Amino acid sequence: MPVLQDKAVLVTGAGAGIGRATALAMTAEGAVVAAADIDLAAAERAAADCNKDRPAGNSRRAIAIEADCGDVASIEAMVARAVAELGRLDVIVNNAGVTRYAYIMDLTEADWGRIHRVNAKGVFFCLQRAAREMIRQFDADGSGGRIINIASISGRGYAGASNAAYAASKGAVISLTKMAAQQLGRYNINVNAICPGITRTELGARNAVTRAAERGISVEQLLTEQEAGIPIRRANTPDDIAAMAVFLASPGSRNITGQSYNVDGGLVPS
């Protein structure tokens, strides 16, 4: 039997990259997924792909939800709809995030506000709202739930971070993960984070264009340099992060909480 058979999973930022890969990986392991994204069309494409790939015998369909994970009212509506349509909430993957490539002295107040609105505030309120559902489930049947936050090695001081505001927001996610695990453990809620390293996503590709232009080299040269600096000599694909998310959602991780795991090919010490 798939390890997540019939689990109800909400993935934010599921329209592309890590979020989309995670939604598909959860589906492949038997979960029913709510794919949430600020871009409804992208969420719908992800949900459609989940429905095409769902295992035989799993008749429950993935759904798409339009949500702005920097807005508390939108977060409330997102979780409420996921629970109403899926019946419960066993796992949330807080993946939605934003950034841009910028030198520390070029960052503006608008940059700080935009980045922290989603990456720090949004993760907190998604976590809090999901935890309310999971606490209710614990009171009803003892099940609790799993909260998985997508942080970054940038939050650990990685020098190649897209910008300082982004690094600060991801450091906040790592700290939040530790505190939430301590306070929610009594409700059988596990809270962990994944810290991706260099990952080949659409967002990463846009940042690579800016970085390469700044240095006067080709994007191909930049990518080659990046991979040469990784001990295992390859960057992540979104599937690498999705695989860790599946593990943290699975029964095999039942006694793991409060941890932040680097998935970076050995680039940054934990």
Q: Catalytic residues, which ones?
A: 166
What phi and psi values does residue 192 have, to the nearest 5 degrees? -140, 165
Beta bridge partners of 193: 149, 260
Say whether 153 sits in a helix, a strand or coil. helix
Amino acid making up residue 121? K
Q: Are 25 and 245 in contact (CB under 8 A)?
A: yes
Unique residue bearing structure tokens 């934010």: 12
Distances (CA, A) of 48 to 29, 42, 53, 245: 16, 10, 9, 21
Contact partners, residue 121, CB within 8 Å, separation at least 6:
70
